[in-house]
Every structure is written in structure tokens, then in C-alpha cells.
Amino acid sequence: MTTPTTTPTPSTGSWRGVASEDQDELSDKVSGLLRVRSRRLLGDLLTPHRKAIALLTAVIVVSNAAGLAIPYLVKVGIDEGIPPMLRGTGPGTLLTVVGVILAAAVTQALTRQAFLTMSGRIGQDILLELRRRVFDHFQRLSLSFHEKYTSGRVISRLTSDIEAIAELLNSGFDGLVTAVLTMFGTAALLLVLDVHLGLVALIPLPLLLLFTRWFRRQSAIVYRRTRETVALVIVHFVESMTGIRAVQAFRREPRNQEIFKELNDDYRDANVRAMKLIAIFMPGIKLIGNVTVAGVLFYGGWLAFHGEVTVGVLTAFLLYLRGFYEPMQEISQFYNTLQSASAALEKLSGVLEEEPVVPEPREPTPLPAPRGTVRFEGVRFAYVEEMPILPGLDLTIPAGQSVALVGSTGAGKTTLAKLITRFYDPTAGRVLLDGVDLRSLDEATLRAAVVMVTQENFLFSGTVMDNITFGRPDATEREVREAARAIGAHEFISVLPDGYRTEVGKRGGRISAGQRQLVAFARAFLADPAVLILDEATSSLDVPSERLVQRALRTILSDRTALIIAHRLSTVEIADRVLVMERGEIVEDGPPGDLITASGRFADLHQAWQDSLS
Amino acid sequence: MPPDTRALRRPLLKNNSLWRLRPYLRPYVVRLVLIWLAAMVGIGASIALPLVGEQVVDGPVRDGDGGALLLLGSIALGLGVLEALLIFLRRWSQIKPVLGLETAIRDDVYAHLQRLPMSFHGDWQSGQMLSRITTDLSTIRRFTGFGMLFLVMNILQLIVVTALLLSKHWPLGLLVAASAVPIVMLSMRFEKRYIKISRQVQDEQGDLGTFVEESAIGIRTIKAFGRRRHVYESFDKAAVKVYDTSMDKVRLSARFFTFLEVIPNFTLALVLLVGALAVGQGQLTLGALFAFTTLVLQLVWPIASLGYILAMAQEAMTSADRVMEVMDMVPAITGGTGRIERPRGHLRFEGVGFRFPGADRPVLHDVWLEVRPGETVAVVGATGAGKTTLTALVPRLIDPTAGRVTIDGHDVRDLALPELRSVVATAFEEPTLFSMSVRENLTLGRQDTTEEELAGAIRTAQAMFVYDLPWGLDTRIGEQGLSLSGGQRQRLALARAVLSKPKILVLDDTLSALDVETEALVEKALREVLREATGIVVAHRASTVLLADRVALLADGAITHVGRHQDLLNEVPAYRALLAQDADLDPSEGALR
Ligand SMILES: Nc1ncnc2c1ncn2[C@@H]1O[C@H](COP(=O)(O)OP(=O)(O)OP(=O)(O)O)[C@@H](O)[C@H]1O
Ligand SMILES: Nc1ncnc2c1ncn2[C@@H]1O[C@H](COP(=O)(O)OP(=O)(O)OP(=O)(O)O)[C@@H](O)[C@H]1O
Ligand SMILES: [Mg+2]
Ligand SMILES: [Mg+2]
């Protein structure tokens, strides 16, 4: 067996296999960088809401001022309102105070509702923006990225991570802001009420800050771990549900369960660590708060009975002190949502920083009427370094020519096709369309000119109609029917329960493999490109259907460049030219008739095919 | 019964999915009792603390009693430390049950999903399932973690404080108790609307997840057609829908939360007014009024936070509903108990019919076919004729709606599923590979395969390329094996099927992506394998058909002809039309002829 060329990254189980790199497994060293990056993203997201946030701050200050005033007013009520009554001078002062309390309560309520709605809106705006950005960015990123990142991770980023942030924005944000403001407000008030007592009450503050810092450091690590472990759970889950047919048919359920349990347990352990931190942090804060209350009670009582503070002041003090330490509880309560959200934000910002390796040109060359000349100039390509798939390719396909590409499996046929569609860029050399390097065409232009029916055709859930119009969203129903008719798909579609409106189900599972291929074909046909690439587009069709498709192709392809990859040489019949590919090189090139009579690779293949027919 | 579950019953009157999750907490009963005890005593301590304050104001301060002050201060300190300790105890012992609950449910949902048949998986997007095992479970975790506790503690605190107030000065206490009326009334109304809206948000998020999934898996197609914008717009529509519903939720809860805050403040003002009058009339001491207002102030937070907690409870219930919705799906295909002692692989379709749910016509009807042990039968039929459907009946990925399928005389429905599925192996028309090592992809976790068997299967499928991969058999092949070529993937799927040496081997058009030469090599090797096994080979090509001893022609949902390839070719025009490459080819058209 071959020895590994690179050191494998250790992974949780050998079943997973070895790959040269594992995304997401980041060392703690980069965590500083990550924080900067995610903070930048956060800033970026908040910027458009600057004004709203300023307004919000004003509103919340009013709301908190009103809220804070209430205990103070109670103190005033007791201190100033009651003595006149005891003296029999009437409840005037008291009534005023009560009136003010009511007014404060109403003010608080109104501002608070405004705050909740506004902050809710900002939160949702940010979420929407984040969803949009991340989704769009994923769609922009090149195939090579997706192949490594896997769809499971994409899903995890766009669901679980976004939700962690939503969690913060929905509840945590509100709680944090209120708590922080309450704390500062209270601290100020305490000092105003009585500097002496106030200072005593605030003595433990530095301790509190240290403690919080410790917690923040620890939890950053822990929550990053929870994001990572949950992503693994999701990846495994999605994959086993996607391949459930094979799972059940091959009795993989127990093994899958084992793996899932392992991942699930990892996720649990990460959560255990997070919760343990909180279990230490929360009571810690409470302890500091309570000890302070006792201290103030003692010291305040002593002062009061020496007549240095009034009973009212002491009362207010004790009330406010709760207001100072209680929010700390809340802050820590929401600190975990915050940490979990910032871990998620780190992941998302990582994705957003990812640059497409197949970038769009800064100044695209226009290509108003593509004719479809495809040229490969000294193209070399390798998916992984050291393993070149195309060692050096020179090839010209004149506009309008139909070229059949044959060769043994794994020769690099699909790879060549992917270079024409610019799923990848060549490692060296260039691919030209009508003399323009693909790298200087913008995506829309290129995609309008070149369309490929991939080997693994994918149907979206939705109707047959939806799937065909995917080729050209503005196509009319008639055009769709015509496209389907032209390639012989109309017949089966019209007998489906709802005709063109039949739901094809998840991944097209409600129609047969051959029917899926026909729909995929109709889709490409409708797109009407200058260059059409068919990668094994008829492999699952029966012979009569295949023949229908070929007949259609003959007319379609008369004025179009086509690259037809096929193993069944019957398809080659319609080609003007045949390329035989072996190990990434074109070994034969010529009109089919010539190649058959010559003695070469193609003649052999053809003979073998002939034999297989009898 | 642990107290927590009893507390649960109240909001569960309407809806009991959450209540049904209680067995998951059973292993933690002792801990739960401890947690709740800690919580109760903790509340006691936190209520006692201001009472000590009252004592200080009423006692030492007025009387100038320094010793009492010291004593009371120490009590306050002790209570404070105790409270913190209890919170620690509660939180620490909560970790295990809460996460244990979540983890166990997740394991179970996964196990259940793996049991559910293809008919379920054909309809349910993994996005919807995924949101259940992630979002919904963490919602439930959060609620059982602190929501539930706070709900009960808050309510208890309200009751205790109110009782205390009533005992201190009943008119004032009554006033405070009366303020609960609007709160309860409004909460109930809120509950109804909130439950609807939160379910809506959760479902819409599931849909969004589905969309994300499709666009991640279908990325090649999207790119091939350059439909980024189009896909983005659809995503955007779904995301905006989530946004709108979430905003409705925000507005609803903003109103409710605010209301919950304003009520206790109003109460406070009233208490002050009435209390001051009472003090004026000498019915209440100043210290008592102070304690009274302190206690009422203590009510503000529990009541205000009730909003959050009730919302959390609603969400947890909706989530539990969504989880139970999946758990309540009865697996339509469950194994029997039968075993075949020494399977020979005698396969019979006896009057088999199959209709997809909701379809107006059956795909298969009255299918009779016998495949004797060791024999290989090719199934030939047009695109969409029902070949895949027919083959899926054997390992019971679907069950016939009429007739039966038997192996060695046993109805497949009587056999235990693992037993049945070890007798039958299928190479599917679309190769499914998982993101794991080549070895694991082939063995799919069976430990009992030897290296020789592995090598043999790889040779049969002509998949020797795996040895050239960077880490040989240990190389992880990418998601769905996409870093392999189409033919390579198909050969791995084939190797997987032949690896287990099944008695019945089903090949569903498994050679379609191979070049002619490789195909010939694979066929040669397969012949060996098929000599030992009963085979069903779905084929579109004459070359593959030749693997079989007999051919069955599937047309119009039934097997119309069975016979040898050459005979059918000569006698049955429908068969000729399907298989003869040159049947009606105009010689002038075919450049190759
Ligand atoms: N994304 C990828 N990353 C790494 N290697 C790849 C990737 N895609 C394909 N390969 C490898 O490149 C080689 C050529 O693959 P390609 O898909 O071009 O073959 P092909 O000629 O289309 O074969 P087939 O007829 O089987 O479809 C194969 O050895 C394959 O394993
Ligand atoms: N889940 C489903 N729900 C409803 N109809 C279905 C479902 N799956 C398949 N069908 C229909 O049943 C028929 C038979 O499908 P099947 O996949 O068995 O065809 P097949 O003979 O294997 O075709 P192919 O050669 O294209 O693979 C098709 O017409 C298809 O549209
Ligand atoms: Mg290919
Ligand atoms: Mg099929």
C-alpha cells in the first residue's frame, strides 16, 4: 500500500479516513485573530444601524432612568411623604410622589416596549443580512471549496450557527444592554446617595471584573468547541440521512448509531464544560453580591444608628444594591448566549473571509454573441499537487463542432469538461472561449455561453416545470414543453399524475433515474447555450429513449459547439470528431469514420463495443 | 415522581409532548430532587435577606443596639453565602440531567430516523429533520435547564412573598394578590397566540434549512447553469418570510413583556399609598412598610421575567411537539422474527403489485417471477418501467401493496430485517458514498470482513484505483465520493455489494458509467460472483443482459415475457426495440456502421 505523503491530521475515529486537511480544527493560537475577524464582521453588520442604535440607547437610558427612579421615589415617599402625614399636615407630598411613581412606571413601560420592538427589529435585520451574506458567499465560493467543506458544514453554518446568533439577538442583547446600563446607573446613584456607603458597596468591583475576565477567557475556548462538535453532529446526520437507502440496505444502522453516539457525546461533553463554567461563575457573582449586601447592612446600620445616614437612605441603599448585583446574574445568564454567538460569528466570519479560488474578473471582457470556439492552450491541471490529471493539453474545438470525448474511466474527461465550465482554473496554461481567457469573462456571460449536464444530475424539490425552467427562468410554459418534446421527455411527463406540475420530490426521488436524466437534459436544452457539454447524459436511458435524444441532438447541435462525453459509442455517431483520452492526454483525434478504420485505441474500443452488442 | 415533572403538568394541559419526554429524566431522579431542594432553600435564603434588613432598621438602628447589629449582620452574611452555595449546587447537579436528556433524545431520534422507511425519507427533507435534532432539542434543553426551574421558582416566590405580605398586613397583601388577576388573564391569551407563532417560525426555519441543504448539495447544478441569482432570490424569499414572522413574534412579546413589568410597578405605587395611610393611622410601623415595599420590589423581577420564561416554555412545547411528530411516525417496515437457517437464495415474486402512495395507477401489478438459487435473471424495461421499484421490494426498502415476495419460501416480511438484508445486497443505480475512508465505505462498518475479501471485491469491481489514492484504502473519499470520477464511484458501489457475498445480488444498472473495456473486465469477474449467488441484473445494454441466464421483460407494470436473450430478441418485437442497438437505425445516418 502507498505510504502517506503528508502527515495525516488526527481525527476522532479511523473510520473517517485520512485527508490532507481538516477545516475547522483551529489551534487556540489563532483565536486572537479570530476574535478580531469576527469583531470586524460584527462592526460591519452594526454599521447600517448606527442611528437606530443611538436612538435605542437614548430610549433605553430613559427607560432605565424611569425604572431606577421607582425605588428612589419609594424612599422619598417614605422619608418625605409619611412624616407630614404623621404630623397631620395631609397626604399632599405622598400623593405627588405616588403620582410621579405612576408616571415613571408608564414612561418605563412605553420606552421599554419601544426598545424591545426596535432592538428586535435591529436583531432580525442583522440576522437577515447575515443569512443573505453567508448564503450568497457560499454560492460564490468555488467548487473546490465546497468539495472540502462539505454540504453538512455549509448547512451547519447557515442553520445552527445563525441560530446561536439569533439566540443572542433575540433575548441576550436586550438583557445585556439593560443589565449593563442598570449597573452603571446604580453605581452612580449609590455614590450620589452616600459617598461613604457607596464606596463600601463598590469595593468588590475589581474582584468582579477579574472574575468576569477569567470567565470570558475560559468560555471563549469552550464555546468554540461546542460549535465545532455540533457541526460534526450535523455533518454526520445530514450525510446518513442523505444516503439512508444505502444505510438501510447494507445494515449500517448500528455502526452509524455508534458513530453518531460518539459525536453526540463529544458535543455533550463540550456543553458540560460550558455549563460547568457557568455553574461556577453565576454563584460566584451571587456570592460577591451577597457578601457586599451583608457588609453594607452592617456598616450602614452602624452609620444609621450613629445618625450619619437616615433610615431612608439605608433602605434605598439596600434596594439599589440588589439592583447592582442582580443584573450581574443576568449578564452572566446571557453571557453564554453571547459566547456561543461569538463562537458562531467566528465560524461565519471565517467563511466570509474565504476567497473564491475561481475569482470573477475585475474588468470582465464582454462577449456579446458567443460563437463557441473552445481552445485549450498548454493546460495543466491537478486537483491535488503531485497528482496531475491533465499533464498538458492543447486542443481547439471550432465553433459549431460536435466533439465526442471517450476514454477509460478516470481518464480525466469530466475534469476537462469542468475546465471549460470554469468550475476550476487550470494550474498552468489557459482555456479560451472565442479567443477570450475564461478568467476574464464574468460569471453571467460564461454561464450563458457554456452549459454542462453533469454526470450526477441534481433535481431540486419542486415540480418538473420548476426543474426544467431552472435552465432559463424566463422561459414560457410552451417553451418548456417544446424543449421536453424535442428530447423525448414530454411523453413520460404528460402521464405523470400532475403532468408538468408533478412534484419530483426530494432530489427528484419520485421519478426514475432515466427520467431524471431526461429532465436534466431538457433543462440544459432550454438554456440554449453556445457550448453544450454532456457528461454521460444518456447513460441511464434505455436504447429507444437514447436514440430519441440523439436524434434531437443532431438537430440541436448542428449550429452549436458540443462536447459529448460517453462510454456508449452509439452516441459518438452524431459527432463530427472523436477525441480519445487516456490518462489526461488526447491520444487520438479525428473523424469517427477515420479512427475506426485506423488501428488504434478507438478502433479497439469500437471493436469491444461491437462485440458487446451481440 | 420528581417534583419537576409535576410542575410541568400545568402548562401541559393543552399539549403533552413535553410531558412525554419525562422518561428521559428518570435516571436522574435523585439529582432532580436535590436540585429542587437547593432551589427552594435558595429562595428561602433570598427572601430572608431583606427581612434581616428590616430587623436592622427596626431593631439596632432604632434602639442603638450594637451587639444585635453584629448578630444580624452575621446572619445576613451567612444567608448570603448559603444562597450562593445553593445556587452552585443546583447548577452543578443540573448539568448531567439536562444534557443527558438532550443527548439521549438526540440519539433516539437518530435511531428512529434510521428505522423509518424510504417512503418517509423520500418526503422529509433532512433540513426539517435536522432542525429537530439541533434547534428544537436545544430549546428543550434550555427550558428543562433553567426555564422550568425559574418558572416554578418564580411562581413559588410570588406565592410565598404574597403569603408573607398577606400575613404582615392583609389589606396590603390582598392588593398585591389582586394584581395577579390581569397577569394570569393576559398570560393565557398570550400563550395561545405565541404558541402558534413560534411553531410557525420554527417550521419556516426548517424550510429555510431545507433550502440551504438543497443549494449546498446541488451546488454543481447551480454553478453549471449560473443560477446563483435565481437561487439567491428564492432563498431570500424564504429568509424574509422567517424575518416577517419573527418580527410578529417580537412585537407580540414586546407588548406582553412590557405589560408584565408595568403591573408590579403600579402595584408598588398603590402599596406605598395605602401603606403610608396605614402608617399614618398607626396600623403599620415604618420598618414594616419598608419591609413591605422591599418585598413588593422583589416581585418585580419574577413577574417581569415570567414573560421570557413563559415564552421559553411555549417554545419548548412546540419543539417537543416537533420532535414527537417524528418519534410518533410508526416505521411502516419492521422486521419479522423469521430466520433462514441456510439461505439458498430462491427468490419468488408472487403476484406482486406496487402503488406509490397517492399515485393513481400502480407501477407494478401482478408480477410473477421466479429466480432459482444460483440463477441470474436480467430485468429489462423502458425508462420508468418500474425496474428499480421491483428490485427495492427484495430488501424491503418498500413493501408490495399486493402479493408477496419470498426467499426460500419465506415471505420477506416474516424475516428479521438484518437477516433479510444480509441475504440480499444491492448495487444501486446511483452510487452513494459517505465521507469516510474507502475501507469503511466498502465494509460499511462490518467488522467481520477480511483483507482478502476486501481485495477480492475490489478486484471484481475493477476498483484497483483505490490503491493509488494517497492513503490507499484509508483515504477519505469526499462527500458523496465526489472527488472520484463517475465510473470510480460506481465501481466502489459495486464492490460494496459483492463484498458481503450475498446470496441474492441485485445490480441496478450498475455498469452504466463504465467504459466498454472496463465493463468487459467487470462482467467477467461478476460472472464468477454470480455463479455462487442468485442474481437480478437491471440492464439497458445487451452486454449486461448477457450476464444473465434468463431475461424478464418488464412492460406496463408486469412481466410480459421471460426467456433467453436470443429467443426474446427473435420473438418479441418489444424486446428487440429495447435492446437491439441497431434495430431501426438508418444505415445512412450511422457514421459508424
Ligand atoms: N475533486 C477531485 N479531487 C481530487 N481528485 C479528483 C477530483 N475529481 C476527480 N478526481 C480524480 O481525477 C481523475 C479524473 O477524474 P474524472 O472525473 O475527470 O474522470 P472521467 O474521465 O470523467 O471518468 P469517468 O468516466 O469515470 O467519469 C480520477 O482519478 C479522479 O479520482
Ligand atoms: N417515490 C415515488 N413516488 C411516486 N412515483 C414514483 C416514485 N418513484 C418512482 N415513481 C414512478 O414509478 C415509475 C417507476 O420508477 P422506477 O424508478 O422503478 O423506474 P425504472 O424502471 O427503474 O427506470 P430507470 O430505468 O429510469 O431507472 C416511474 O414512472 C416513476 O415516475
Ligand atoms: Mg466523468
Ligand atoms: Mg431505475
* b/e burial code for range B356-387 (CB count within 10 A of at least 16 → b): beeeeebbbbebebebeebbbbbbbbbbbbbb
Mean pLDDT for all residues in chain A: 84
How do residues A508-524 score in pLDDT, each as one tens digit? 888 999 999 999 989 99
**Cβ atoms B302, B158 nearer than 8 A:** yes
pLDDT at A553: 84
User: In this predicted structure, which of A106-110, B197-201, B475-479 has the lowest mean pLDDT?
Assistant: B475-479
pLDDT band at B165 (very low <50, low <70, confident <90, very high): confident
Higher pLDDT, A268 or B449: A268
Reply yes or no on whether the pLDDT at B280 is more than 80. no
How do residues B224-244 score in pLDDT, each as one tens digit? 888 888 899 999 999 999 999
How far does CA B381 lie from the centroid of its chain?
Answer: 37
Percent of chain B with pLDDT over 70: 92
Domains and CATH numbers, chain B: 16-198+259-327 (1.20.1560.10), 347-387+415-590 (3.40.50.300)
Locus of grid cell 445556587: B87
Give the DSSP letter string of B121-163: HHHS-HHHHHHIIIIIHHHHHHIIIIIHHHHHHHHHHHHHHHH
**Cβ atoms B295, B165 nearer than 8 A:** yes
Locus of grid cell 436586550: A174
Reply yes or no on whether the pLDDT at B62 is more than 80. no
User: From ligand 2's centre to the CA of A228, what distance in Å?
Assistant: 40
The CATH code of the domain at A34-352 is 1.20.1560.10
pLDDT band at A23 (very low <50, low <70, confident <90, very high): very low
Q: Which amino acid is at A272?
A: V
Q: Write out chain A residues lying below 8 Å of B94, CB-based.
A: 275, 279
* Residue ranges of domains in chain A: 34-352, 374-613
Is there an atom of ligand 2 within 6 Å of B120 CB? Answer: no
Task: Return the HEC string of B85-103.
Answer: HHHHHHHHHHHHHHHHHHH
pLDDT at A18: 61
Reply yes or no on whether the pLDDT at A2 is more than 60. no
pLDDT at A329: 67
Pairwise CA distance, residues A580 & A534, whole Å: 16
Pairwise CA distance, residues A80 & A87, whole Å: 12
Mean pLDDT of B357-368: 89
Q: Write out chain B residues lying below 8 Å of A409, CB-based.
A: 485-488, 491, 513-515, 518
pLDDT at B64: 63
Q: Classify domain A374-613 at the CATH class level.
A: alpha beta
pLDDT at A29: 57
Distance from the Cα of B451 to chain A's closest Cα (Å) equals 12
Reply yes or no on whether the pLDDT at A171 is more than 80. no
pLDDT at B550: 92
Chain-chain contact of B254 with A275 (C-beta, under 8 angstroms): no
Is there an atom of ligand 1 within 6 Å of B487 CB? Answer: yes
Ramachandran sector of residue A400 (left: φ over 0; alpha: ψ -120 to 50; beta: rest): left
Q: Which amino acid is at A172?
A: G
How do residues B398-446 score in pLDDT, each as one tens digit? 999 999 999 998 999 999 988 888 889 999 888 888 888 899 889 886 7
Residues 91-110 (B) with a CB less than 8 A from some CB of A: 91-92, 94-96, 98-100, 102-103, 106-107, 110
How do residues A401-424 score in pLDDT, each as one tens digit? 999 999 888 899 999 999 999 999
Pairwise CA distance, residues B133 & B105, whole Å: 8
Reply yes or no on whether the pLDDT at B274 is more than 60. yes
Compute the residue count for chain A: 614
Closest C-alpha to B73, from A310, A318, A190? A318
Task: Return the HEC string of B459-500.
Answer: HHCCCHHHHHCCCHHHEEECHHHCCCCHHHHHHHHHHHHHHC
Q: What is the DSSP letter of A488?
A: T
Mean pLDDT of B166-170: 82
Nearest residue on chain A to B539, alpha-carbon basis? A542
pLDDT at A323: 66
A458 at interface of B, judged by CB pairs closer than 8 A: yes
Percent of chain A with pLDDT over 70: 92
Pairwise CA distance, residues B477 & A246, whole Å: 16
Closest C-alpha to B182, from B301, B263, B272, B252? B263
Higher pLDDT, B63 or A362: A362
Task: Return the HEC string of B251-303.
Answer: HHHHHHHHHHHHHHHHHHHHHHHHHHHHHHCCCCCHHHHHHHHHHHHHHHHHH
pLDDT at A542: 86
pLDDT band at B13 (very low <50, low <70, confident <90, very high): very low
Question: Whose CA is closest to atom 31 on ligand 1?
Answer: B484
pLDDT at B57: 66
Closest C-alpha to B368, from B589, B230, B553, B97? B553
Most confident of A26-35, A216-225, A601-610: A216-225
Question: What burial class does residue B546 get, using C-beta atoms within 10 Å of its C-beta: 0-12 exposed, 13-18 middle, 19+ buried?
Answer: middle
Pairwise CA distance, residues A270 & A218, whole Å: 12
How do residues A110-123 score in pLDDT, each as one tens digit? 998 998 898 889 98
pLDDT at B287: 77
pLDDT at B589: 37
Give the DSSP letter string of A315-354: HHHHHHHHHHHHHHHHHHHHHHHHHHHHHHHHHHHHHHHP
How do residues A307-337 score in pLDDT, each as one tens digit? 777 777 777 777 777 667 767 766 766 777 7
Distance from the Cα of A559 to chain B's closest Cα (Å) equals 18
**Cβ atoms A410, B485 nearer than 8 A:** yes
User: From ligand 3's centre to the CA of B315, what distance in Å?
Assistant: 48
Mean pLDDT of A369-396: 89
**Euclidean distance between the first and final Cα of chain A, in Å?**
40
A325 at interface of B, judged by CB pairs closer than 8 A: no
How do residues B466-508 score in pLDDT, each as one tens digit? 998 888 888 888 665 557 888 898 899 999 999 888 899 999 9
**Beta-sheet pairing, B424-427 with B504-508:** parallel
Residues 464-523 (B) with a CB less than 8 A from some CB of A: 465, 467-480, 482-488, 491, 496, 500, 509, 512-520
Reply yes or no on whether the pLDDT at B8 is more than 70. no
Is there an atom of ligand 1 within 6 Å of A578 CB? Answer: no
pLDDT at B482: 54
Task: Determine the atom of ligand 1 nearest the C-alpha atom of B485.
Answer: 17
Q: Model-level pTM? A: 0.87
Mean pLDDT of A496-503: 90
Q: Is the ipTM of this complex over 0.90?
A: no
Closest C-alpha to A26, from A343, A259, A335? A343
How do residues A289-298 score in pLDDT, each as one tens digit? 888 878 887 8
